[in-house]
Amino acid sequence: MKFQTHAKSIWKNYLADRWVIYSWGAFSVLLTNLMQVLAPKNIGWIVDFMTRKPIPKFLTGSDDHQTFVILFLVLASSRVLINIFRFMWRITLGRQTHYACGMLRRDVWDHVRFFKRQDLDRKFTKGVLMNAQASDTNSARFVFGFTLVAITDVLFLGIFTFIAMAMIHLGMAILSFVVLLFVPIFVRKLSQREVEQYKKTQDVLSNFNDLSSQAVSTIKLQRLTQTGPFWERRLMTVAENHRSQKLKGINLNLLYIPVMGAASIISYVVLFVMGIYFTFSSRMSVGDFISMQGLIFLLHDPLMSMGFIVSEWKKGFTALERLSEIFLQEKDQSLTTEGIPINFDKPEDSPVLEVENLTFSFGPGTPLFSNLSFKLKKGERLGITGPIGAGKSTLLSILTGLNRDVESGKVEFYGKPFSDYSHENLRAMIGFVSQKPFLFADSIRVNVSMNHEMSDDLIWKYLDLAGLKEDIELFPNGLGTQLGEWGINLSGGQKQRLTLARALASNPKVLFLDDCLSAVDTITEERILKNLDQHLKDVTLVWVAHRKSTLKYCNQTFELKAMMGAIQ
Amino acid sequence: MTKLQIKKIGRKILKDHRPPGLKSEQTISSYLMADDQDESRINEKGLGDFKSFSILLNYAKPFRMKICFALSLIFVSSFFAIYSSKLMGDLLEKGLIARNMNRSISFALSIMGLEIGSIFFIWTGRKILAESASQVIFSVRQHLFEKLQQLPLQYYDRQPQGRIVTRVTHDVEGIDEFFTSSLGNLISASMMTILAIAAMIVSDTKLGLVMTASILPSLFIMYKTKDFLKNSNRRVSKFSSAINAKLSEYINGMDVIRSFGLEKWTMDKFSQTVDDYLYAQLRGNLLFAWSMPLVSFCATIPLIGLVWYGGLGVLKGAVSVGLFVSFVRYYERFFNPMMLLSREIHVVQQAFTSTERVMSFLNEDDEEKILKNNGKMVLTHLSGDIKFEDLSMQYLGGDWVLKNLNFHIKAGEKIGLVGKTGCGKSSTVSLLSRLYEFQKGEIKIDDIPIRNFNRNSLREQIGFVAQDAIIFKGSLRENLSCNLAQTDQELIDAARSTGLVKAFAKEGFNLDMEVLEGGSNMSVGQRQLVSLTRVLLKNPSILILDEATANIDPYYEEIIHEAVMTMMSKRTCLIIAHRLDTLKQCDRVFVFDQGELVEEGPLSKLLTEGNYFYRLHNAQSVH
């Protein structure tokens, strides 16, 4: 209900903000429809003129030739105008479809970036968000533009056609309209089934594509392990499933032929039975008969569209509701609170980071560690060791203030708990290099500088500190080398060093290093450690490492043992 | 990564260099450019539209009777529709204007009959056509999957993986879309157009020709705008997937974004990506806004021409009112098909491109043709004695990657292979499975030249365990064996002996266990054990381990170590390794450098002598 209301308000506000352009669009559609109805009427006049039946006064010229020229000009200019009006609604209403889509797509990341970790892990997993971003925005955008065009079109075209028919013969107009009312009902049902079938086919297809790309990517292994025929069989089973699903969809689509065919036949019955009778009883001219024939077929369009619109509209709003769920999802408070500025004017020996009686556990049960206490001053180095699973990474996430779900105890940064500061201020002061090197699919330059403006010289300096300068100098494009999908895949060690350089470039007061040189060879590692120790005199360093050699630069170390807390 | 790939990427990057701070649009458009260039390179090697299309028709041969039947139904339907338009004119002239009630009624009834027939025939015809088209595409897909297995590995080395994936997914879909959905529309539309033109020319040659000629402007515009429209659509879909890629990237990197406080920075970048997309959409919108009405205006030129010439003709008495009305109806009959053709023209073009690519892919040379020398010997067991005699090999005209290799591995020996990346150890192993061809020398297994063996039968005898286990979605049983003859008990026995059962002790070992894509519900260790069990079930004579115990968490390391030891006993083993621990189990270690065997001997000997291996080991702890 909440989401429904929100979806509606998004739509209403969007339209209200742009009411001028929407009015223009509606006006253009109206004019287009007028011209559309004029066409069969015009042919009727021409036929009447040819068969010497009376035609409206305002179209009559001084002689036959002049009348004909007038009739011709009306026809020709209406054809030109119709296309000008079509152009107009495309660049007014049609355009809004795209603007709205852009807005919705932008809003997705605007909200997702502040989501709570647990929501990202459970409720809004990557698959869910990707789907919302790609397919929901795509369906939702139509209610802001093209569906509105269709509605206006149906409304005006339907009304105008009906009026034009009623002017020729009211009874026949009503009858034609009533007998064709089955069309929207059938079309709606059919289009719903089509959409369902389409979804089914798409699911099969994406599964099929996944499987195909897996089959290609594992080809060498298939060859070595002789599992190729097995893959082939699997692929063919899915291919057959896809074929039959797709065929079902096509056959549903082909059902429009008999449905719309039935509409034509019924229209012919009405036209012939009444039309011929009225023409012979002179209540209708031959030109009227021809106009009527054109108009009755013109009536099919809006009736058919009506069926589509109902399901399009529903589909669009359901998608908008799903997006609203994302927009209304509760945000992580720690990321959005406005904090006080960090006070760096403290005596030299006052602690930068102070931990007192810290206890942490994943849910109820034995805590991962308990009653941990220590102080770190400016420029001090702390080393943390311990076996896998002892909670080293968890401890770091708490010390960096990224994880605040501690059971008891306190962590203070420059004398105040993390919650007193804003996320932005904290992150500017705290550097963190994680075990898993994640890089952005951008150039090396952007990966180092990120949100800071930085000269190339400075970037090279940080790369040098991280022991990566020589490697990158070998790349043909140096700092401009693109990473990710399209670029060179760096080796594990290079990636780790790049993430280190990136952390250095953010110029932090405290730097946390979570076993971030594990894939770097010992010689290079030694060089990097020395660099860091020398150049980061004023920076407080916290190191997590497996290798004892890493820790020789530390003036404090402790070992975290599984389920036992710390031994200082 | 092969040298060739690096070169290619290098070129891509070269195109990419740009001053700092430029908008991301430039980056993406340079990707587009790179992709386009890739495509154009494909076209150079390709078969050409016409030829590939005729190959495609071969796939349709088995269904030709059905297809012809469908086409004739569609033809009859169009004929009925056109004839009914002619009768409409007659109804008007000979019935209504002549005030002949009986004739009017009989015309009306005929029109109704023809319309009903027309609808019925087209519906049936289209259904049959769609059914057969889907069969044709199915057989194309089948051939593609067979082809994947038949192509030599050197083909896969040369082509970026993404491109091959595109061939078997997106490109086939392009053909599929065209044949099963659009083809029917196109055929009925063209038949209707042709028949309408024919009918017009038969009823009044001069007026008919004028009408036909006046279609030309719209055809011209359609032709001129189709490339714009196609490019615009492509641009939009590329920018759209750029947004998807960005979102996916940011969700993956959420931890990094949080830890650096990049929320605002990523929002700016994301907005830029959305703006690029929006800009492409709006450009497309403008293009459609003028080109669609323009095409539809041009399509009304025949009507305007008809009214002018026809109308004047009627005034002069040269044309009858009935004929004029028939012509109006003919026009209506071909106006809609024409619009449809104009809308679907890019689908046709896409289909041609796709067909050309897929057929070129199917036309690539098979392993049989490239590697030749497939022997006839089929074997059930090997003792595993391996000899390399003066062996040299090169990949496709490149440098020699193996030079004059000479060694002898006795049956049951455990050999470690070490060396830097690209030193030739992987090539050596690939040659044993006959994945590539060698140029000089000889390889003998059990003293029989390797070329005498049947390739697949030889591969059956070689068990390969890679660093990354390949796990696919399905049951655990499906993941262990694709040999349906193997019983559950055999599978369980094998799983027990490798320790797989133990590794699943917590979850409870069960052959029907659902395995997720890529084995995401298993740990690295469990995955590796699955692949070990898979190999054990094949009971190979020769075992190749490619750093199979790297990246394993300590808990599983022990189990896996034991499993590997069990499997290695009584088999000839080749172990590609980087870590000393692994090499300790080997009888001898072969050290490769630049395609040559530079040192060999027991590990202890190699480590103490201060030679190449000693240096290699100390210089890098990771390869």
CA dihedral A115, A118, A120, A125 (to 10 degrees): -160
Residue A550 and residue A544: Cα distance in Å, rounded? 9
Judging contacts by C-beta atoms under 8 Å, the chain B residues touching residue A266 are: none
Inter-chain CB proximity A98 and B281 less than 8 Å: yes
CATH 3.90.650.10 fits B386-619, yes or no: no
- Would you say residue A130 has pLDDT above 90? no
A81 touches chain B (CB under 8 A): no
Three-state SS annotation for A269-336: HHHHHHHHHHHHCCCCCHHHHHHHHHHHHHCHHHHHHHHHHHHHHHHHHHHHHHHHHHHHCCECHHHH
Q: pLDDT value at position B2? A: 36
Segment among A269-283, A346-360, A384-398, B287-301 with least mean pLDDT: A384-398
Start-end of H helices in B394-437: 425-432
The CA-atom distances, in angstroms, between B546 and each of A101, A145, A375, B424, B507 are: 49, 57, 47, 13, 28
Q: Sign of the C-alpha dihedral, residues B369, B373, B377, B379?
A: negative
Decide the pairing of beta strands B448-449 and B572-576. unpaired
Decide the pairing of beta strands B440-445 and B386-394. antiparallel
Q: pLDDT value at position A529? A: 87
Assess contact for A356 and A427: CB atoms under 8 A: no
Range 13-32 of A in CB contact (< 8 A) with B: none
Q: pLDDT per residue over A376-431, tens digit each? A: 888 888 988 876 667 788 888 899 988 888 888 889 998 889 989 999 899 999 99
Contacts of B607 (CB under 8 A, 6+ apart): B613, B614, B617
A331 touches chain B (CB under 8 A): no
Range 252-311 of B in CB contact (< 8 A) with A: 252-267, 270-271, 274-275, 277-278, 281-282, 285-286, 288-290, 292-294, 296-297, 300, 303-304, 307-308, 311
Residue type at B43 in one-letter notation: N
Point out the residue among A209, A224, A481 whose CB comes nearest to the CB of B169: A209
Q: pLDDT value at position A110? A: 95
Assess contact for B567 and B535: CB atoms under 8 A: yes
Range 422-481 of A in CB contact (< 8 A) with B: 423-424, 426-428, 430, 432, 434, 436, 438, 440-442, 445, 450-451, 456, 475-477, 480-481
Range 498-557 of B in CB contact (< 8 A) with A: 517, 534-535, 538, 544, 553-554
Point out the residue among A51, A95, A522 whose CB comes nearest to the CB of B621: A522
DSSP string, A362-421: SSSSS-SEEEEEEEE-TT-EEEEE--TTSSHHHHHHHHTTS----SEEEEEETTEEGGGS
A241 touches chain B (CB under 8 A): no
Range 227-246 of B in CB contact (< 8 A) with A: 240, 243-246
**Helix or strand or coil: residue B461?**
coil
Inter-chain CB proximity B13 and A114 less than 8 Å: no
Inter-chain CB proximity A114 and B263 less than 8 Å: yes
CA nearest neighbour of B374 among B452, B442, B433:
B452
Residue A146 and residue B504: Cα distance in Å, rounded? 55
Q: pLDDT value at position B312? A: 87
A92 touches chain B (CB under 8 A): no
Point out the residue among A43, A102, A293 whose CB comes nearest to the CB of B274: A102
Judging contacts by C-beta atoms under 8 Å, the chain A residues touching residue B238 are: none
Residue type at B240 in one-letter notation: S
How far is B588 from chain A, CA to nearest CA, in Å?
A: 24
CA closest to A439 among chain B residues: B253
Point out the residue among B256, B274, B293 whose CB comes nearest to the CB of A86: B293
**Helix or strand or coil: residue B293?**
helix
Q: How does residue A548 score in pLDDT terms, banded at 50, 70 and 90?
A: low
Two structure tokens written together for B566? 């069990």
Q: Which fold has domain B42-203+349-367?
A: ABC transporter transmembrane region fold (1.20.1560)
Point out the residue among B261, B270, B470 whose CB comes nearest to the CB of A221: B470
CA closest to B133 among chain A residues: A247
CA nearest neighbour of A238 among A214, A208, A212:
A208
- Would you say residue A565 has pLDDT above 50? no
Residues in chain B, pLDDT under 50: 1-44, 619-623
Q: pLDDT value at position B40? A: 42
Q: pLDDT value at position B29? A: 35
Assess contact for A311 and A188: CB atoms under 8 A: yes
Inter-chain CB proximity A254 and B123 less than 8 Å: yes
Judging contacts by C-beta atoms under 8 Å, the chain B residues touching residue A233 are: 482
CATH architecture of A2-114+121-332: Up-down Bundle (1.20)
Residue A224 and residue B153: Cα distance in Å, rounded? 11
Q: Sign of the C-alpha dihedral, residues B355, B360, B363, B367?
A: negative
Average pLDDT value over all residues in chain A: 86
- Would you say residue A234 has pLDDT above 60? yes
Residue A427 and residue A84: Cα distance in Å, rounded? 55
Taking the domains of chain A in order of start, what are their residue ranges? 2-114+121-332, 353-567
Mean pLDDT in residue range A166-192: 89
List A358's β-bridge partners, or say none: A372
B3 touches chain A (CB under 8 A): no
Residue B181 and residue B191: Cα distance in Å, rounded? 17
B580 touches chain A (CB under 8 A): no
B40 or A291: which leads in pLDDT? A291
Q: How does residue A23 score in pLDDT terms, banded at 50, 70 and 90?
A: very high
B365 touches chain A (CB under 8 A): no
Q: Is B379 exposed, middle or buried (0-12, 13-18, 19+ CB in 10 A)?
A: middle
Q: How does residue A486 score in pLDDT terms, banded at 50, 70 and 90?
A: very low
Judging contacts by C-beta atoms under 8 Å, the chain B residues touching residue A214 are: 472
B599 φ, ψ (degrees, to nearest 5): -145, 150
Residue B404 and residue B390: Cα distance in Å, rounded? 4
- Would you say residue A350 has pLDDT above 80? yes
Inter-chain CB proximity B289 and A484 less than 8 Å: no
Residue B484 and residue A476: Cα distance in Å, rounded? 52
Taking the domains of chain B in order of start, what are their residue ranges? 42-203+349-367, 205-318, 386-619
CA nearest neighbour of B284 among B238, B328, B241, B315:
B238
Q: How does residue A100 score in pLDDT terms, banded at 50, 70 and 90?
A: very high
Point out the residue among B184, B270, B304 whose CB comes nearest to the CB of A106: B270
Inter-chain CB proximity B256 and A95 less than 8 Å: no
Q: pLDDT value at position B22? A: 30
CA nearest neighbour of A414 among A537, A510, A505:
A510
B379 φ, ψ (degrees, to nearest 5): -130, 155
CA closest to A236 among chain B residues: B142
Q: pLDDT value at position B26? A: 33
Q: pLDDT value at position B621? A: 39
Judging contacts by C-beta atoms under 8 Å, the chain B residues touching residue A426 are: 261
Judging contacts by C-beta atoms under 8 Å, the chain A residues touching residue B299 are: none
CA nearest neighbour of B531 among B546, B510, B541, B514:
B546
Q: Is A473 exposed, middle or buried (0-12, 13-18, 19+ CB in 10 A)?
A: exposed
Question: Percentage of chain A with pLDDT > 90?
Answer: 28
How far is B251 from chain A, CA to nearest CA, in Å?
A: 7
Residue B154 and residue B65: Cα distance in Å, rounded? 41
CATH 3.40.190.10 fits A353-567, yes or no: no
Two structure tokens written together for B362? 């199917």
Two structure tokens written together for A181? 């009312």
Q: Is A22 exposed, middle or buried (0-12, 13-18, 19+ CB in 10 A)?
A: buried
Q: pLDDT value at position A9? A: 95
A342 touches chain B (CB under 8 A): no
Q: pLDDT value at position A28? A: 93
DSSP A443: B
How far is A354 from chain B, CA to nearest CA, in Å?
A: 19
Inter-chain CB proximity B119 and A264 less than 8 Å: yes
Inter-chain CB proximity B248 and A492 less than 8 Å: no
Q: pLDDT value at position A295? A: 86
Q: Is B566 exposed, middle or buried (0-12, 13-18, 19+ CB in 10 A)?
A: middle
